[in-house]
């Protein structure tokens, strides 16, 4: 009898600690999620990213519309699945970054989804290049995020913008932490440091160009702008005339290659990161990271559209540089070098304005 009491006491001591550990590690899976691939917890292969179960993420139809000739529903059956691995964090209430989990996501890339859509640019007569296009993605709740056309089609590493239909936790081998699982399909942007644009259950993709009209003068000579006006909603908020004494500069070695003319040079670019120069002019919060566009405009009207997030919120350290030239140098005083891009097309010369807009 005495032994039975001792046994019961031990059990009562063990059970609470196990329940506490289970709650701490968020191990309760969504009952509605279906396992589509079983885990390999024994590490029978060299793949670190299959050591937990893979779950299907439910979701409905997605439509593509906007400045395209062939709008309509996305047929996932015609698309190839891609895989990305991400460490997700979001902005905390105190302004610091808050880690939320590490995952492998499988799904369909925006590159593939949009590749077969025939563009019908509203401003084609004014500016024919595609580098001023952007994409709005909306979910069932009405939440929206923006991406530039360039971050989908121009990056060195393609297919990192996914509509994720499956998820696998990347579980630490010692702590066994089980990060909470999403309950529905998600937009996953693999190059974002903070996952503010990773919204759930996307239902609509819209291709657009900015409404603002910008005159183009291809015969301008010399191609030179002495300063850069910073605007927000078409109102001036600042100006870049020269780098201050404390401005940190970086040098990037590159093979500079254009989509049209091919190889330009292998000369390194030296300049200041654009995010460091722009940080005084806007707040880095969830709303801005989700919905703010940045249009970089040359004095001749050549321009490219970027999402604020791809400039200010990168996880890959492939930053945008603002590169100073010599006084009165053709293409100066400043030009942009997009280190993240395979092509040189978004390397705007003689930058005269950087404009923030929603």
Could you report the per-residue pLDDT of 234-272, keeping only the tens digit for each?
A: 899 999 999 988 899 999 999 999 888 889 999 999 999
Q: Are residues 160 and 309 in the same domain?
A: no
Last residue of a domain, one of 208, 237, 270: 208
- Domain of 204 in residue numbering reads as 30-208
Q: Are residues 60 and 161 in the same domain?
A: yes
Q: Are residues 273 and 202 in the same domain?
A: no
Q: Are residues 43 and 185 in the same domain?
A: yes
Q: Are residues 137 and 64 in the same domain?
A: yes
Q: Cβ atoms within 10 A of the Cβ of 73, count?
A: 9
Which is nearest to 24 in space by CA: 178, 174, 171, 167?
178
In a domain, 35, yes or no: yes
CA distance linking residue 234 with residue 241, whole number of Å: 19
Q: Are residues 47 and 161 in the same domain?
A: yes
CA distance linking residue 238 with residue 229, whole number of Å: 6
How many domains is the chain built from?
2
In a domain, 20, yes or no: no
CA distance linking residue 358 with residue 295, whole number of Å: 11
In a domain, 241, yes or no: yes
Q: Are residues 159 and 261 in the same domain?
A: no
Q: Are residues 194 and 262 in the same domain?
A: no
In a domain, 2, yes or no: no
Q: Cβ atoms within 10 A of the Cβ of 8, count?
A: 10
Last residue of a domain, one of 141, 173, 208: 208
In a domain, 72, yes or no: yes
What's the CATH number where 297 sits? 3.90.420.10
Q: Are residues 197 and 266 in the same domain?
A: no
In a domain, 134, yes or no: yes
CA distance linking residue 54 with residue 52, whole number of Å: 7
Which is nearest to 189 in space by CA: 200, 198, 176, 180?
198
Q: Are residues 150 and 242 in the same domain?
A: no
In a domain, 58, yes or no: yes
What are the C-alpha distances in Å from 27 to residues 16, 40, 177, 180, 266? 15, 17, 8, 7, 51
Output the tens digit of pLDDT for each of the chain's 358 residues.
Answer: 444 444 344 433 433 332 233 333 444 455 589 998 888 766 678 888 888 999 999 999 999 999 999 999 999 999 999 999 999 999 988 778 999 999 999 999 999 999 999 999 999 999 999 999 999 999 999 999 999 999 999 999 999 999 999 999 999 989 999 999 999 999 999 999 999 999 999 999 999 999 999 999 999 999 999 999 999 998 999 999 999 888 999 999 999 998 888 899 999 999 999 999 999 999 999 999 999 999 999 999 999 999 999 999 999 999 999 999 988 888 999 999 999 999 999 999 999 999 999 8
In a domain, 249, yes or no: yes
Q: Are residues 70 and 160 in the same domain?
A: yes
Last residue of a domain, one of 149, 177, 208: 208
Q: Are residues 164 and 235 in the same domain?
A: no
């Amino acid at each position: 009898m005495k032994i039975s009491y001792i046994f019961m006491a031990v059990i009562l001591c063990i059970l609470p600690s196990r329940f506490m550990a289970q709650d701490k590690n968020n191990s309760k899976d969504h009952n509605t999620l279906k396992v589509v691939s079983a885990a390999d917890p024994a590490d029978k292969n060299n793949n670190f990213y299959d050591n937990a179960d893979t779950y299907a993420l439910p979701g409905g139809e997605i439509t593509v519309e906007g400045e395209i000739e062939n709008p309509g529903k996305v047929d996932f059956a015609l698309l190839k699945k891609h895989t990305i691995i991400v460490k997700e964090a979001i902005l905390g209430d105190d302004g610091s970054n808050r880690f939320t989990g590490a995952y492998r996501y499988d799904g369909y890339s925006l590159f593939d989804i949009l590749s077969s859509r025939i563009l019908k640019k509203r401003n084609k007569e004014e500016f024919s290049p595609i580098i001023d296009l952007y994409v709005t993605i909306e979910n069932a709740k009405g939440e929206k995020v923006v991406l530039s056309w360039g971050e989908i089609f121009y990056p060195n590493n393609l297919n990192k913008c996914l509509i994720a239909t499956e998820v696998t936790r990347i579980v630490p081998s010692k702590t066994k932490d089980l990060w909470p699982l999403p309950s529905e399909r998600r937009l996953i942007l693999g190059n974002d440091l903070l996952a503010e644009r990773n919204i759930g259950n996307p239902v609509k993709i819209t291709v657009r160009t900015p409404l603002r009209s910008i005159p183009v003068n291809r015969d301008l000579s010399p191609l030179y702008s002495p300063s850069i006006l910073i605007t927000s909603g078409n109102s001036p908020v600042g100006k870049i005339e020269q780098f201050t004494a404390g401005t940190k500069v970086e040098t990037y070695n590159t093979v500079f290659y254009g989509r049209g003319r091919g190889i330009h040079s292998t000369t390194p670019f030296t300049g200041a990161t654009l995010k460091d120069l722009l940080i005084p002019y806007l707040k880095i919060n969830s709303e801005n990271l989700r919905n703010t566009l940045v249009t970089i405009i040359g004095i001749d009207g050549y321009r490219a559209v970027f999402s604020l997030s791809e400039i200010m919120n990168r996880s890959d350290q492939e930053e945008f540089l603002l590169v100073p030239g010599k006084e009165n140098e053709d293409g100066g005083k400043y030009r942009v070098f997009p280190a993240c891009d395979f092509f040189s097309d978004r390397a705007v010369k003689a930058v005269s304005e950087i404009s923030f807009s929603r």
